[in-house]
Structure 1
């Protein structure tokens, strides 16, 4: 079955289903809808109308851009679909981000090498310290 690229925003249910399929945490439809509506850029992969992959960019559209939710269902991995999504993300970033902007992402453990061909560097390095995060569910 053919996988096609789209520039659409998935529904909250589709997004949660995709997250469940890859073992990520769920969120409420209200939070997901808000998050997806506030994305700067979203690209999806669909097979027979079903969401099978996606990527999005979040941020302020000026100084800060963040690659988020690069997801491809496991049975489609290794076939170039993740690269296809990232190629579209990078086209958006090259057209939108200006000198002085920062572009970041947090790779899933063990997936760091996937992002290196797109110009992303592991941290810490000689220019930047370790990435850090905080999870509100721990509050």
Structure 2
């Protein structure tokens, strides 16, 4: 997961619809969030597990919890999306996510520092 500015995190985190944090010895070692409008669109974001704790099924644990919340709270006809990095697509496929290309592709741009 790429770094975000403190300002961006301070603005964004309070708008989480549902989030999961995994703690080990009082420290966050894994997380995942759902953002969206609460009705039509939900996006799974910020799935991350600290490198030293990867390979232990914690990503699956996070996704299982997020998926359970979505299935209990997202109305029929809602669209749930995410951006899968690398081999993570295999994990997400276990929860029903399918690649949308060529019909739709993920598009984005990142806001950089203002030029002077």
Relative to the length of structure 2, the TM-score reads 0.89
1:44 aligns with 2:21: yes
> What is the correspondence of 1:117-128 to structure 2 with a 5 Å cutoff?
117-125=94-102, 128=103
Instruction: Tell me how far apart the structure 2 counterparts of residues 59 and 102 of structure 1 sit (CA, whole Å).
Output: 10
Look up the match of 2:108.
133
SS of the aligned residue for 2:112 comes to helix
1:75-113 per-position Cα deviation (integer Å, ceiling 9, x unaligned): 211111111100100011001111111100011233211
Unpaired segments ≥5 residues, structure 2 = none
Write 1 or 2 for the structure with the bigger share of helix.
1
Instruction: Tell me how far apart the structure 2 counterparts of residues 34 and 68 of structure 1 sit (CA, whole Å).
Output: 15
Pick aligned residue for 1:100 from 77, 83, 105: 77
CA RMSD of aligned residues (A): 1.7
Relative to the length of structure 1, the TM-score reads 0.75
Q: How many aligned positions are there?
A: 114
Runs of 4+ off more than 3 Å: none
SS of the aligned residue for 2:76 comes to coil
**Distance change (3 Å), C-alpha of 1:109 and 1:48:** same
Instruction: Tell me how far apart the structure 1 counterparts of residues 77 and 14 of structure 2 sit (CA, whole Å).
Output: 26
Unpaired segments ≥5 residues, structure 1 = 1-18
